[in-house]
Every structure is written in structure tokens, then in C-alpha cells.
């Protein structure tokens, strides 16, 4: 597209719409990012890395996408497509089945998004899941996750900054102000082609429209099949489109349809007063915005982090030392402003903007608010070490930003004059360090669980999750547990009275113990939904020498006939 040579550059807006954002996200998760491209699904092709030849070597995929765990671009591994929690039933969902995303709306499960496959079969958002299931029993569904969608959209917005710095978020899409930018990519058509190709390779179907106003571009993306509206042609293109293309409240659209006003063309030149009095001034505003008679600014994406330090480089940096040095100075800046606000960082993000537009993000979390630059640096150093070679500087980074994404108040005790750290501090710091190096899930703590089964009554939880959580309810009163519980109950040979008398004597580890006193049984049956197993009768016994044991008979006589005895713990 040859944009005019007139002095003030004509405003050009690109609207992006991802109609299947939610399902694309899930498909990528299941099938990989390249699920939309048949070539790369076959795992052979070096996908054409067309325009920005930023990749030195490699298999030709965009760097931002292959990326590393820290990139927000990737969906985290724990959000898997949950079709069912009922055991292994979920594994039956074929990757080819139509997919829908569901949520509870007004007490009924409804589809909120569908993929193209489902759409072709007649499903649409708003339908109740029951109806949809009745029609398509093979429908695969996943729970709606608006946060994940939003995160993904943000990531795409990040990425879209390669085309223009002015990117705004929009409902299931983006608005890009590409005024004066298109020529860098060989014109608007080439830019669109590039964008389509790249996003498709990433597994996203997009519709994009370019026009002189956000309103017209929005309409072009969603209702005109993705077109480029030449400057001055807004009205021509908009006229045949339905009124909904004006971004109006659905009630207004419906009211207008009922009087026969269905297309934008019917209201473009119509007298305004009768329209405004019947359908509200919003209609007029939206119309003017789309046509360009009313200015509409793109609301640029605001980055919410409360504490940011950033630095731009005239000469891109690439060496690891430089990256670390930058971090160190940014940390110092950040620490000062954190201190001023009495806050500390719980989660930090170090973002490196590569010359070619890719963004590397490294995130670290802490168990306790921190602000000391040294600590910050140490955490990131662990991370760098873990990432190793994976930080690919390419032609270098031209900007670095350190931001605090989660912060919390710090009590004054921290960082006292002596510079020493107290005991819990050091444990927390240790947890942070190990967690940063090996992953948070690698550090576990012991927690108690509410279950009757003694050996299941304690378990491991990640240290981060365990701290601060009050311990689970203990065993109901009056049923004491041994001081030491064996990891594996040890079989003993015991004689006892049928049906549920305590052992009279037993042989354990080749020694014979004569029971002097006993109490029981405490009868504990298996958790039938987890396991099958006999009912246990536990006895507290004391032998003639005063040793106290916790024994159980594995099974009632009525259940098993000749039950085996075990010693499961000792009291002292």
C-alpha cells in the first residue's frame, strides 16, 4: 500500500481479532504451538522466517516463542486441559474432537468459546453445555480461564510491539497504531501478511483490519473479513456492515434492527436527532468515531507493576556480564524506591528487550518480601545459572527493565544495622535460593492431613504453599498416636483372642514380647474410594518390660480369616 506523501502522516490503525483465543490457547497446549500449520506439525519444515531475520541459526522458529520457562508467552505446565478429574477418563479426549470452553452462567454450564471445528458443527457461544453435548457427544470441553486468556493476549500484545510501540488491548483483540510504521515492513499488505503468517505459525487464527480510525479498523477486522480500508474510504466500507460493527450495546443493535435499521449505511447520512432521541447518543458517538469525525485515542496498555527501573542502551548489550551489571544497578534503584514505600518484593521480573522485538522475561519469586539488592541479585544469579545458555542475546538487547510484580509490606526488623540475618530469615532465604535454583516445587515441607489412615496423616507440600498455612486438624481427641510411626509397618507373629481381642504375645524382629496391658481396638477401615484393603484394628500394648507398641491386626477375622499382625510404631 503506498501511503500518501502528504505532510502530516495519515493516521492508520490496525485492529486484530482473535476469535478463537481461548480454544487456540488450549490447542497449543495440547498439540504444540505449531498446531495450525500442517508443515510444522509434521516436524520437518524450517518454517519460513520471513522478514526480520533475527535468528542466528536454529530451526527457524521465532525466538520469543521457543523461549524459556520464564516467558509469559508460554502457558505454564500445570494448567492442563481438564476434561474430567474422574481418574484416567480424561485421556480419552481425542485431539481432533471439537473443543469448547465452558463456564457457569446463571446456574447453567454454557459454552463461552468454541473452536472452528465446533463452530462448523453448529455450536456457538451462549449455548448450554447440555444442548451442545446432546448434539455433539464427542465435544471436548475445558473450563473457562479468563486470566489465562488475558495473560496470553498480553503476551501477544508484547510481541505486537514489534510493529509499533502503540498497542492497546481490546476485547479478544488488539488495536495497533501503525501510523508511519507500515513502510518498515514493506507496506500495510506486507505487514498484514507477515502478521498473519507469524501468528498462524504460533497457532493463532487472527482477523486483522486496517483503517484510518480504530472504529473502522475494528469493524473491518470483525465484519469485513479482514480488509485494508484505504484512507478516506471509511464510509464506503462501513456502509454494508451490520450495526454491531459500530461497537454498540447489543440492546441498541436489537432495537435498531427491529425498526429495520440493520446496516451502518442506513444511518450514515440519516438525520441525527431522531436517531439520538431513540437510540441514545452513544450511537452517534460510535458512528463519528468510526468515520473519523470524532477523535478516538488508543488506550495504550499500561503495565501495572508498582516499582519499575529500566535502562535503555544506545549500543545493544549482549554479554552476560553486562546483563548482570545492568541488573545490579537496576536493583539498587528499585531497592531505594521500595524502601521509601516500606515495601519489599515478592515477585520480580527482569525483562530484556531484544533488538528484533523479542522479549525475554525472567521471573523470580520469594517467600518473604525482600529489597536488598544483594538478595535480588543472588536470586537472579541462581536463575541465570539454571537457564545457562538459554538466554539468547541475538543481536543484543536495547532495553532492560526490572519490575516488582508482587510486593508486600516489610517489617522494620529486616536489614538491621549489624547486617545480620536472623534464623528464620536464613531459612526463608535458603528456601528462596534453593527454590530459585531448582524450582519452587522442589522445596517441600511436612504438613498434616485430615485422614484416619495413620500413614497418610502427614504429607509433603511445597514450602511456599506450606508456610503460613495453619496446620490441618489433628486426630480427634483421645486417640493418641505413637511417637514414632514406622514408614513401613513390620509384620509380627501374634496370638490374640478372636474376634477382636488384643495380642497376648507377639514376636517381632526375632524377639518375643509378652503383653501385660493393652487398649483397643481402634478400628480403622480403608479409604474405600482410594484403595481396597482390610480393616485394621489398632491396639496400644505394653509388654512386661514396660515397652509400648502400636500394633494392628490387618483385617477382621470375618473379612480375611487369618489376618496378619503388624507393629506400626512405638510410643517411647
Partner 1 sequence: MSKVVPFATALTTAGREKRATESRDPPPFAEMAVTTNYSFLRGASHPEELVLQAVALGLAAIAVTDRNTVAGVVRGWTQHNLLKEQNPDLKLKYVAGCRLAFRDGTPDVLAWPTNRAAWGRLCRLLTAGNRRAPKGECHLDRADLLEWGSDIILGVMPGAAFDEATLATTLRELTTAFPANVRLMANCIHAGNDRRHLIRLARLARVAGAPLMATNDVHYHHPDRRPLQDVVTCVREKKTLASAGFRLAANAERHLKPPQEIARLFADYPKAIAETVRVMERIEFDLAELRYYYPEESTGGFGSPDEALAHYAFEGAKFRYPDGIPDKVRTKLTEELAVIAGRQYAPYFLTVHDIVRFARDEQRQILCQGRGSAANSVVCYCLGITEVDPAHSNLLFERFISPSRNEPPDIDVDFEHERREEVMQYIYNKYSRERAGIAATVITYRTRSAIRDVGKVFGLSEDTVGALASTTWGWSSDGVRDEDVTRAGLNPAERTLHQVLTLCRELIGFPRHLSQHVGGFVMTNDRLDETVPVMNAAMEDRTHIEWDKDDLDALGMMKVDVLALGMLSCIRRAFAFIAEKYGERLTLATIPKEDPAVYRMLGRADSVGVFQVESRAQMSMLPRLKPEKFYDLVIEVAIVRPGPIQGGMVHPYLRRREGSEKVDYPSPSPKHGDKDELEKILKRTLGVPLFQEQAMQIAMDAAKFSAAEADGLRRAMATFRRNGTIGNYRELMIGRMTERGYTPEFAERCFKQIEGFGDYGFPESHAASFALLVYASAWIKTHYPDVFCAALLNAQPMGFYAPAQIVRDAERHGITVLPSDVNHSDWDCTLESLAPDRPPGRPHPLHTSMASDIRTGCAVRLGLRQIKGMREDDVEMIVERRRGGYDSLRDLWLRTNLPRAALERLADGDAFRSVGLDRRDALWAARGEDSARMRDRLPLFDLPAYADIRKEPDFALPPMLIGEHIVHDYRYLSLSLKGHPVSFLRADLARRHIVPAFALRDLPNDARVSVSGLVITRQRPGTAKGVIFMTLEDETDIANIIVWPKAYETYRPVVLGSRLVAITGKVQSAKGVIHVVADRIEDLSPMLATLSADASDLSALARADEVARTPGEDSRVRNLTRHPRNVRFFEPDNAEAAHAVMPKGRNFH
Residues 212-271, interacting with partner 1 (CB under 8 A):
223-228, 236-237, 239-244, 253-255, 257-263, 265-266, 270-271
**34-43 long-range contacts, CB within 8 A, separation 24+:** 34/201, 34/202, 34/203, 35/203, 36/200, 36/201, 36/203, 36/204, 36/205, 37/200, 37/201, 40/201
Among 520, 555, 563, 569, binds partner 1 (CB under 8 A): 520
Q: Which residues pair with 549 in a beta bridge?
A: 541, 570
521 near partner 1 (CB under 8 A): yes
Q: What Rg, from alpha-carbon coordinates, does the chain have?
A: 32
Q: Please identify, using beta-carbon distances, which residue of 313 and 571 lies nearer to partner 1.
A: 571
Query: Torsion angle, CA of 273/233/206/145, rounded to 10 degrees?
Result: -20
387 near partner 1 (CB under 8 A): no
Site for partner 1 in 70-99 (CB under 8 A): 82-89, 92-93
165 near partner 1 (CB under 8 A): no
Query: How far, in Å, CA of 256 to CA of 275, rounded?
Result: 9
Site for partner 1 in 538-567 (CB under 8 A): 538-540, 542, 548
- Nearest approach, Cβ of residue 50 and partner 1 (Å): 14
Q: Please identify, using beta-carbon distances, which residue of 16 and 358 lies nearer to partner 1.
A: 16
Q: Please identify, using beta-carbon distances, which residue of 364 and 494 lies nearer to partner 1.
A: 494
Query: How far, in Å, CA of 190 to CA of 173, rounded?
Result: 20
- From residue 323 to residue 362, the character string flagging contacts with partner 1 as x (rule: CB under 8 A) and all else as - is ----------------------------------------
Stretch that binds partner 1, among 185-193, 308-316, 393-401, 459-467 (CB under 8 A): 185-193
Closest CA to 563 of 541, 539, 528, 544: 539
Residue count at the site for partner 1 (CB under 8 A)?
104
- Strand (E) positions, 464-563? 484-496, 503-508, 511-524, 536-543, 548-554
533 near partner 1 (CB under 8 A): no
Query: How far, in Å, CA of 446 to CA of 485, rounded?
Result: 15
279 near partner 1 (CB under 8 A): yes
Among 8, 38, 57, 274, binds partner 1 (CB under 8 A): 274
CA 503 from chain centre, in angstroms, equals: 55
Q: Please identify, using beta-carbon distances, which residue of 226 and 369 lies nearer to partner 1.
A: 226
192 near partner 1 (CB under 8 A): yes
504 near partner 1 (CB under 8 A): yes
Query: How far, in Å, CA of 230 to CA of 220, rounded?
Result: 11
104 near partner 1 (CB under 8 A): yes
- From residue 456 to residue 495, the character string flagging contacts with partner 1 as x (rule: CB under 8 A) and all else as - is ----------------xx-xxxxxx---------------
Q: Please identify, using beta-carbon distances, which residue of 174 and 327 lies nearer to partner 1.
A: 174
Among 41, 484, 523, 547, binds partner 1 (CB under 8 A): 523
Is there a contact between 290 and 215 (Cβ–Cβ < 8 Å)?
A: yes
Among 4, 50, 105, 130, binds partner 1 (CB under 8 A): 130
- Nearest approach, Cβ of residue 47 and partner 1 (Å): 17
What is the phi/psi pair of residue 417, to 5°? -60, -35
Stretch that binds partner 1, among 165-173, 320-328, 438-446, 527-535 (CB under 8 A): 527-535
143 near partner 1 (CB under 8 A): yes
Query: How far, in Å, CA of 187 to CA of 178, rounded?
Result: 11
23 near partner 1 (CB under 8 A): no
Q: Please identify, using beta-carbon distances, which residue of 330 and 551 lies nearer to partner 1.
A: 551
278 near partner 1 (CB under 8 A): yes
Is there a contact between 479 and 454 (Cβ–Cβ < 8 Å)?
A: no
Closest CA to 78 of 503, 441, 566: 441
Is there a contact between 453 and 552 (Cβ–Cβ < 8 Å)?
A: no
As a three-state string, the secondary structure of 434-458 is HHHHHCHHHCEEEEECCCCCHHHCE
Q: Please identify, using beta-carbon distances, which residue of 48 and 82 lies nearer to partner 1.
A: 82
Among 122, 165, 180, 491, binds partner 1 (CB under 8 A): 122
Among 518, 549, 551, 553, binds partner 1 (CB under 8 A): 518
Burial class (CB in 10 A: 0-12, 13-18, 19+), 388: exposed
Stretch that binds partner 1, among 4-12, 138-146, 302-310, 347-355 (CB under 8 A): 138-146
Q: Please identify, using beta-carbon distances, which residue of 278 and 484 lies nearer to partner 1.
A: 278
Contacts of 49 (CB under 8 A, 6+ apart): 55, 60, 61, 62
Site for partner 1 in 29-48 (CB under 8 A): none
For CA atoms 534, 535, 540, 541, give the dihedral sign.
negative
Q: Please identify, using beta-carbon distances, which residue of 259 and 460 lies nearer to partner 1.
A: 259
**Sheet arrangement for strand 108-114:** 108-114, 99-105, 140-143
Site for partner 1 in 430-459 (CB under 8 A): 449-452
313 near partner 1 (CB under 8 A): no
Q: Please identify, using beta-carbon distances, which residue of 45 and 128 lies nearer to partner 1.
A: 128
Cα three-residue angle 511-512-515, rounded to 5 degrees = 140
Amino acid at each position: 500500500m503506498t501511503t500518501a506523501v502528504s505532510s502530516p502522516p495519515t493516521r492508520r490503525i490496525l485492529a486484530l481479532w482473535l476469535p478463537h483465543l481461548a480454544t487456540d490457547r488450549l490447542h497449543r497446549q495440547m498439540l504444540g504451538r505449531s498446531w495450525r500449520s500442517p508443515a510444522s506439525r509434521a516436524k520437518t519444515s524450517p518454517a519460513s522466517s520471513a522478514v526480520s531475520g533475527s535468528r542466528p541459526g536454529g530451526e527457524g522458529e521465532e525466538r520469543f516463542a521457543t523461549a524459556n520457562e520464564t516467558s509469559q508467552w508460554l502457558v505454564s505446565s500445570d494448567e492442563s486441559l481438564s476434561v474430567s478429574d474422574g481418574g484416567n477418563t480424561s485421556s480419552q479426549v481425542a485431539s481432533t474432537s471439537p473443543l469448547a470452553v465452558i463456564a457457569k452462567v446463571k446456574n447453567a454450564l454454557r459454552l463461552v468459546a468454541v473452536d472452528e471445528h465446533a463452530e462448523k458443527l453448529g455450536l456457538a457461544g451462549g449455548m448450554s453445555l447440555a444442548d451442545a453435548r446432546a448434539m455433539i457427544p464427542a465435544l471436548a470441553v475445558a473450563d473457562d480461564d479468563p486470566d489465562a486468556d488475558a495473560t496470553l493476549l498480553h503476551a501477544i500484545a508484547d510481541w505486537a510491539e514489534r510493529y509499533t510501540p502503540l498497542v492497546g488491548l481490546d476485547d479478544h483483540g488488539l488495536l495497533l497504531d501503525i501510523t508511519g510504521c507500515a513502510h518498515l515492513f514493506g507496506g500495510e499488505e506486507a505487514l498484514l501478511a507477515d502478521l498473519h503468517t507469524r501468528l498462524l505459525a504460533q497457532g493463532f487464527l487472527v482477523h486483522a483490519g486496517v483503517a484510518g480510525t480504530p472504529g473502522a479498523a475494528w469493524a473491518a477486522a470483525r465484519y469485513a473479513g479482514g480488509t485494508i480500508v484505504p484512507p478516506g474510504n471509511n464510509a464506503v466500507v462501513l456502509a454494508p456492515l451490520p450495526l454491531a460493527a459500530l461497537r454498540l450495546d447489543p440492546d441498541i443493535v436489537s432495537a435498531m434492527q427491529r425498526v429495520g435499521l440493520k446496516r451502518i449505511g442506513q444511518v450514515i447520512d440519516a438525520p441525527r436527532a431522531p436517531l439520538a432521541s431513540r437510540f441514545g447518543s452513544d450511537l452517534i458517538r460510535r458512528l463519528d468515531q468510526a468515520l473519523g469525525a470524532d477523535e478516538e485515542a488508543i488506550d495504550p496498555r499500561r503495565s501495572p507493576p508498582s516499582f519499575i527501573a529500566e535502562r535503555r542502551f544506545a549500543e545493544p548489550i549482549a554479554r552476560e556480564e553486562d546483563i548482570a551489571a545492568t541488573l545490579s544497578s537496576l536493583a539498587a534503584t528499585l531497592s531505594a524506591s521500595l524502601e521509601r514505600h516500606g515495601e519489599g518484593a515478592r515477585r520480580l521480573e527482569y525483562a530484556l528487550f531484544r533488538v528484533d522485538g523479542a522479549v525475554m522475561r525472567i521471573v523470580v519469586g520469594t517467600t518473604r518480601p525482600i529489597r536488598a539488592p544483594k538478595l535480588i541479585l543472588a536470586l537472579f544469579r541462581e536463575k541465570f545459572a539454571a537457564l545457562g545458555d538459554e538466554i539468547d542475546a541475538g543481536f543484543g538487547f536495547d532495553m532492560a527493565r526490572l519490575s516488582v510484580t508482587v510486593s508486600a509490606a516489610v517489617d522494620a526488623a529486616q536489614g538491621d544495622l549489624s547486617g545480620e540475618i536472623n534464623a528464620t530469615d536464613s531459612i526463608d532465604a535458603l528456601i528462596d535460593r534453593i527454590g530459585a535454583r531448582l524450582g519452587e516445587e522442589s522445596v517441600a515441607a511436612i504438613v498434616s492431613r485430615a485422614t484416619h489412615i495413620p500413614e497418610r496423616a502427614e504429607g509433603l507440600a511445597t514450602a511456599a504453599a506450606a508456610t503460613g498455612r495453619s496446620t490441618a486438624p489433628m486426630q480427634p481427641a483421645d486417640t493418641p498416636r505413637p511417637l514414632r510411626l514406622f514408614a513401613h509397618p513390620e509384620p509380627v507373629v501374634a496370638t490374640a483372642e478372636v474376634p477382636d481381642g488384643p495380642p497376648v504375645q507377639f514376636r517381632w524382629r526375632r524377639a518375643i514380647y509378652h503383653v501385660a496391658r493393652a487398649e483397643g481396638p481402634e478400628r480403622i477401615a480403608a479409604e474405600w474410594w482410594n484403595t481396597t484393603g482390610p480393616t485394621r484394628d489398632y491396639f496400644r500394648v505394653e509388654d512386661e518390660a514396660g515397652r509400648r507398641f502400636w500394633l494392628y491386626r490387618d483385617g477382621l477375622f470375618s473379612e480375611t480369616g487369618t489376618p496378619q499382625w503388624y507393629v506400626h510404631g512405638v510410643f517411647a
